[in-house]
């Protein structure tokens, strides 16, 4: 029941984010955004950078797990 409620919230949140993404998409053409550096002035640079960086961080974390993850009582031995 409660997990169902969480699912509904999740779906609503997803829609909200997609709507904001669309608004930002439109805003990119309306406002002629300028970044602090030239490279940021490329179309959708921050959006693409943010998306890729996030996925990279998560997958790099998964790889890192193979190296640095130990049992919970590792130091208690």
Partner 1 sequence: MMINFPPGLLMLLGGGLIPFLPNSIRQIWMIVILILSATSIFVDHGTHLLFETMNYSFIFWRSDALTMPFAIVFHIAAALNIFYGWHEEDWKQHTSSFTYAGAAIGALHAGDLLTLFLFWELTVVTSVFLILASNTPQAIKASFRYLLTQFTSGALLIAGTAYYISVTGDASFGKLSLDNPGAWFIFFAFGIKAAFPLLNGWLQDSYPEATVIGTVALSAFTTKLAIYALARSFAGTEYLIYIGVVMTAFPVFFAVIENDLRRVLSYSLNNQLGFMVVGIGVGTEIAVNGAVAHAFVHIIYKSLLFMSMGAVLYRVGTIKASELGGLYRYMPITAVCCIIGAMSISAFPLFSGFVAKSLIMVGVVEHGYIFIYLMLLFASAGVLEHSGIKIPYFAFFGHDKGIKTKEAPLGMLVAMIVAAFLCLLIGFVPSLLFSLLPYTVDYHVYTPSHVIGQLQLLIFAILAFIFLIRFNLYPPEIPSTVLNFDWIYRKLLLNIIKRLIIALNVVWSSLSSLTLSVVNIIISIIEKNSVTSGNAAVKVGKSTVLILFSLGFILICNYLLF
Binding site for partner 1 (CB under 8 A): 2-3, 6, 9-10, 13-14, 17-18, 20-21, 24, 27-28, 31-37, 39-40, 44, 46-55, 57-58, 60-62, 64-65, 67-76
Residue with tokens 């709507």: 19
**Shortest Å, Cβ 76 to partner 1:** 8
**Shortest Å, Cβ 48 to partner 1:** 7
**Shortest Å, Cβ 25 to partner 1:** 9
Cα distances (angstroms) measured from residue 54 to each of 19, 26, 46, 48, 76: 20, 23, 12, 10, 34
- CB neighbour list of residue 33: distance below 8 Å, 6 or more residues apart: 27, 41
């Amino acid at each position: 029941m409660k997990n169902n409620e969480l699912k509904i919230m999740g779906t609503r949140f997803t829609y909200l984010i997609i709507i904001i993404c669309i608004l930002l998409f439109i805003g990119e053409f309306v406002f002629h955004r300028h970044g602090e550096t030239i490279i940021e002035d490329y179309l959708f640079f921050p959006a693409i950078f943010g998306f890729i960086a996030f996925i990279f961080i998560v997958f790099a974390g998964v790889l890192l797990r193979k190296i640095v993850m130990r049992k919970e009582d590792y130091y208690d031995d």
